[in-house]
Amino acid sequence: MMEKFDFEIARIIRTINGRGCRKILLQFPEGLKRKAAQVAVAISGQVKSEIIIHGEPCFGACDVPRTSADLIIHFGHLPIPCLDSPNSIMFIQAKSDVDPMPVLEMAVDKLPRKIGLLTTAQHIHMIVPAMNFLEEKGKEVLVGKGDGRLFAEGQVLGCNASVARNVAKKVDAFLFVGTGNFHPLAVALASSKPVIIADPVNNEVRDISEVRDRMLRQRHATIEKAREAKHFGILLSEKPGQRREKMADYVKKILADKQQHLDAVIVEMDLVTPQKLDAFGLDAWVSTACPRLAIDDYAAFSVPVLTPIELEILLGKRAWNDYVFDEILEGQ
């Protein structure tokens, strides 16, 4: 299905002209970059401001670039409320035009009676119609409220499934409406409940359990590989919404514990790439940045990259049975 997104061009033009902005920076996540030129041309035809597209990779609202522009327009995400979001950033969530009802109809028979409903920024405007639809089909539907990193009820981030944990005891399973595996994976590992994916773009319904089990096997192997490591790097992100200084200090402290005989340095970085890590020649890394980094990109790294939770398992401070997903929570 050809998915279209609402870039809210008219609202953007009104804002730019109303504020008399001189220089505008447009920031797109990887999945929307192909639309960037088209959006820039549509805006620049109706404003006097200089329009520049930010070319660096972007994966979330946690990533706000340094710029001399007087307005950043960030597409594809909702704001992270607990982050300082100056007036000079405008978030355009890029609502998807895909109708989720056909795939919800396909999902109904696979769902238990009590379900928690979750989605991402692109489909959040459909959460009430989806809830009404499922209730008409006899389901009891709960839409949770997350912590201060989540803008909307029912919204899940790849680094924050608090919206699911907050209602997990009251539901038998979660239904995630959206594409990809990472968000439902975060929900499955944060809540220990079954998670069904209703993907309205590819029109398919699937269970996350196989992906979750495969990921757990990979994580177990990565932890075992790190047992040989003596020299660790601790990744501290320069991106404002991924920067966990207290967590980096905690990781350094447990690695420096005299009984472990391990040494560790904190390395600050913006975009993390395997080449950048390799240059340091360290034996293993612990990432306090975006949790997706260690998990989604694991095959690209030549040495183990662990989450802080996985380091606790490696050091014997946590049992493998207590494996939980690394989340970035409000206040961290």
**For the CA atoms of 54, 326, 131, 200, what is the dihedral angle to 10 degrees?**
50
307 is a site residue for ligand SF4 (CB under 6 A): no
Count of residues that bind ligand SF4 according to CB under 6 A? 12
Q: Can you tell me which residue has the tokens 């996540």?
A: 29
Region from 18-26, 83-91, 134-142, 156-164 binding ligand SF4, contact rule CB under 6 A: 156-164
In angstroms, how far apart are the furthest CA atoms of the chain? 65
Q: In which element (H, E) is residue 250 found?
A: helix 245-256
Report the 10 Å Cβ neighbour count for 141.
21
Q: Cβ of residue 277: shortest distance to ligand SF4, in angstroms?
A: 17
Show the site string, 226-265: x = touches ligand SF4 by CB under 6 A, - = not.
Answer: ---------------xx-----------------------
**Residue from 12, 60, 118, 152 binding ligand SF4 (CB under 6 A):** 60
Among the listed residues 5, 28, 59, 301, the single contact to ligand SF4 using CB under 6 A: 59
Check binding of 124 to ligand SF4 (CB under 6 A).
no
Residues 158-217 binding ligand SF4 (CB under 6 A) are 158-159
- Write down the least CB distance from residue 241 to ligand SF4, Å: 6
Span interacting with ligand SF4, options 54-62, 127-135, 214-222, 310-318, rule CB under 6 A: 54-62
Question: Which of 26, 73, 157, 286 lies at the binding interface for ligand SF4 (CB under 6 A)?
Answer: 157
Contact 264, 86 (CB under 8 A): no
CA-CA distance, 254 to 23, in Å (whole number)? Answer: 46
Task: Give me the half-sphere count of Cα atoms (radius 13 Å) on the Cβ side of residue 168.
Answer: 16
Closest CB to ligand SF4 among residues 70, 330 = 330
Residue 59 or 174: the one with the smaller Cβ distance to ligand SF4 is 59
∠ Cα 257 244 94 (to 5°)? 150
Per DSSP, which regions of 13-168 are E strands? 23-27, 50-53, 71-75, 89-92, 95-96, 114-119, 140-142
User: Which position among 62, 78, 223, 309 is part of the footprint of ligand SF4 (CB under 6 A)?
Assistant: 62
Binding part of the chain for ligand SF4, among 7-15, 154-162, 192-200, 259-267 by CB under 6 A, reads 154-162
Report how far residue 224's alpha carbon sits from residue 90's, in angstroms, rounded to the nearest whole number: 44
Euclidean distance between the first and final Cα of the chain, in Å? 39
Binding site for ligand SF4 (CB under 6 A): 59-62, 157-159, 241-242, 290, 292, 328
